[in-house]
Amino acid sequence: MCHRSQVINAMLDGTADNKNIGLAKNLLRLRQALDVYCLISVNRDAIRKQAVGRKFFGFVEALCKGSIILHIAKIFEQEKRTKQGKVRHDLNSIDGVLGAIEKEKEKAAVLDSAKTEDFVQKYGSDSGKVGLAALRSAIEEFREEHREALSRFKAVRDKLVAHSDSEFSAESAPSYDDMERLFNFGLDFYMLVSQAFISVVPCNLNADRRVKASLRSLLEAIGLEEIKMEMD
């Protein structure tokens, strides 16, 4: 569950707060799509042996992969700006949230510097920067480290999910491990902003796996035994 803090914070209900809530919604949809895709994929052989549902589960698996590609592209999309520096379209992405915090930097006091430092140390290098500059640097380092995977997600999103380029297929997307790694980075960023800048208790999206549990019950109901729950 998510809870609003009783502490009065100037950033509550502001642009950064609302964008961070939008980011959380995208992350939740990504978490659910990852869980469904994982459970169907690892139990594919057993599902195919069942008398019912084989075509349906194959369709859902493909649908979830498209959703994963779309949401990762959305979460990591960078806001485009005019020559005057104005944002063309506000995005509920990591870049959109960070840009809103930087714009509201007079209000954006770091309320939990320890959590911010932990995030920077986890994803960045010791650049000597502090505060928002260190946070921006750590995010840029992560993006550069995973530049190839992010570029492939964007390419598949643009040429397959959003359009229909005959030279592309869903197999062009990065691995499941890449998907989980990018999700976890997005989740860590959302939780950091919630706690260190907005002063709210974030949703623990890795704890809410009711969709995965529900699908497991469905697989049991159609006769699967020894259901696998995770990728090898």
Residue 82 lies in a domain: no
Is 64 a member of any domain?
A: yes
pLDDT tens string 14-27: 899 999 999 999 99
Using only the alpha carbons of the chain, give its radius of gyration: 20
Structural element, H or E, at residue 103: helix 94-103
With respect to residue 27, please indicate whether it lies within any of the assigned structural domains.
Answer: yes
**Cβ-contact 49, 80 below 8 angstroms:** no
pTM, to two decimals: 0.89
Q: How far is CA 124 from CA 49, 72, 129, 140, 219, in A?
A: 47, 21, 11, 8, 41
Structure tokens at 222: 């159609």
* CA 152/CA 134 separation, integer angstroms: 27
Instruction: Please say if the pLDDT value at position 115 is more than 80.
Output: yes
Q: Over range 203-226, report the average pLDDT.
A: 93
Residue 33 and residue 183: Cα distance in Å, rounded? 11
Q: Kindly state whether residue 160 falls inside one of the protein's structural domains.
A: yes
Confidence (pLDDT) at 7: 44
Q: What is the pLDDT of residue 96?
A: 96
- The residue range of the domain holding 201 is 15-77+88-221
pLDDT digits (tens, 9 = 90+) for 148-163: 999 988 888 887 655 4
Contact at 8 Å (CB) between 107 and 208? no
Q: Is residue 231 part of a domain?
A: no
- Answer whether 159's CB lies under 8 Å from 168's CB: yes
Bridge partners (DSSP) listed for residue 17: none
- The confidence score (pLDDT) of residue 87 equals 74
pLDDT in tens, 41-78: 999 999 999 888 999 999 999 999 989 999 999 999 99
Rounded to an integer, what is the distance from CA 168 to the centroid of its chain?
23
Query: What is the band of 5 on the pLDDT scale with cuts at 50, 70, 90?
Result: very low
**Residue 103 pLDDT:** 87
Instruction: Examine the pLDDT at 4 and tell me if it is beyond 90.
Output: no
pLDDT exceeds cutoff 90 at 82: no
5 in any annotated domain: no
Give 107-126 as a DSSP string: T---S-HHHHHHHHHHHS--
Confidence of residue 170 (pLDDT cuts 50, 70, 90): low
In a domain, 158, yes or no: yes
Domain for residue 152, yes or no?
yes
How many domains does one find in the chain?
1
Question: Can you spell out the DSSP letters for 119-153?
Answer: HHHHHS---S--HHHHHHHHHHHHHHHTHHHHHHH
Q: What is each CA distance from 126 to 113, 140, 189, in whole angstroms?
A: 16, 13, 18
Which is more confidently placed, 174 or 73? Answer: 73
What percentage of the chain has pLDDT greater than the value 70? 87
